[in-house]
Amino acid sequence: MTAQPTDVILHAFDWPYEMICARAESIAACGYRSVLISPPMKSFKHPCGTPWWQRYQPQDYRVIDNQLGNKESLSVMIDQLGQVGVRVYADVVFNHMANESKWRNDLVYPNRRDLRAYQQDNDYYQRQQLFGNLNEPLFSEKDFVAEFGIRDWKDKWQVQNGRITGGPHDRGLPTLKDSPYVIEQQKAFLLALKALGIQGFRIDAAKHLTLNHIKQVWSEEVVQGMHIFGEIITDGGATKQEYQLFLQPYLAQTPLSAYDFPLFQTLFNALQEHGNLATLVDPYCFGEALSKERAVTFAITHDIPNNQVFRNLIMTEQQEALAYTYLLGRDGGVPLIYSDLNTSGVVNSNGQPRWLNQWNHHAMTGKIEFHNRMHGLAMHTLLAEDEFLVFAREKQGLVVMNKSSSEREFTFATKQNWVDLITGDSFSPVGDGMLTFSVAAQSSRMLCVEA
């Protein structure tokens, strides 16, 4: 499905449903039109809490009951967000089930202990039920592929049939078959969420699913009226092996959208000390970005700070701010803004959790306002240098990025007054119809014509 107008997504990563519900009006006021939540299914929970990755180890699709909430609290949240014009998107995990091998050897899901709990607290679990018969397991041994851990991540067969593990001594996450029965259960889950009011899906670990699996689960019945995008991690664009193995076939054989990892890598490289901002002028034409109709764009995903193997992709605070200026200033893609509750422990220059309150910071909301105002307006480049980039959104907006270590100035002809939506600064042309303004080192401006 093509992205809906002004569809900026807040990735409320690992936020409890009640917290999202309480912040519904603030989320809408910031300009977000969608909220992506962590997987709404049954996963292990504990009175003292559980780590974020527990949400990505499903125990049962038929029940919503996890550390973040249950079906009842999710329904309230969907309704509350709907009242302020914000859609809810759900992260879904279909490649595997929970790794419970440390305390059992069978492949029955949910496990026998959970099945007993369903019977002992029948009233509660009936209220949290999405579909199916809770008197019997959802999956058993016959629904999984043979056990082996992925070793070669450039071997497509291994990636789509092996287990994701934590190392040679970890049995890993049991991988589901793309059998008719498994497909049926996964479709039932998606349709039940759709009936509940969910309006979009993020496909977690989509590179681990075969295209046959993806095409059968995301059928026309499921896709209709929904915004669906897959997470297929690549280390770059069309010239990279990972792109050719996983992302290119997905784009060619499905109508679904995807995380724009090629653009992320282009943007990441451009913002480094020796990078070139001119590479951001039209990365799509070089195979270094997805088409604007199918791209979900980002400056950071939850995997980057929360998995050691990706931490080298964390930008500095200044780089990330510039990245969001570009993503929210350009024409194309659906921007996704990441927020967490300090799951990674990464802090900012003030010693505060890095992504805790960035979602509603005035600079971010100004950038979102620019995106929403400029949506659909053509862009054209005015100046492109290694460390300085200026592009316009028709005659209504101007984006200026300065990654250098010195203040820069820019002058252009205009008869109108302008306001920088990031800082609130106003600018007016002088008598000769020229307007000059400065841009501080490693910062940006997003100017709109004053009403």
Query: Where in the sequence numbering do the catalytic residues fall?
Result: 204, 231
Decide: helix, strand or coil at residue 105: coil
Phi/psi at 402 (nearest 5 deg)? -125, 105
The DSSP letter of residue 145 is P
d(CA 8, CA 36): 10
The DSSP letter of residue 299 is S
Is residue 287 within 8 A of residue 248, CB to CB? The reply is no
Burial code (b: 16+ CB inside 10 Å, e: under 16) for 20-31 equals bbebbeebbebb
d(CA 174, CA 165): 9
- Strand (E) or helix (H) holding 85: none
d(CA 314, CA 231): 18
Q: Residue type for 253, please?
A: Q
Q: Residue type for 134, please?
A: L
Decide: helix, strand or coil at residue 232: coil
- Strand (E) or helix (H) holding 358: none
Q: Is the dihedral of CA 297, 302, 306, 307 positive or negative?
A: negative
Phi/psi at 421 (nearest 5 deg)? -75, -15
Is residue 36 within 8 A of residue 336, CB to CB? The reply is yes
Q: Is the dihedral of CA 290, 209, 200, 341 positive or negative?
A: negative
The DSSP letter of residue 175 is B
Q: Residue type for 357, please?
A: N
Is residue 81 within 8 A of residue 35, CB to CB? The reply is yes
d(CA 380, CA 376): 13
Beta bridge partners of 399: 391, 446
- Closest alpha carbon to 439 in 321, 264, 266: 321
| Torsion angle of C-alpha atoms 327, 330, 331, 336, degrees rounded to 10 | 10
End-to-end CA distance of the chain: 34
Is residue 62 within 8 A of residue 85, CB to CB? The reply is no
CA 111 to chain centre: 30
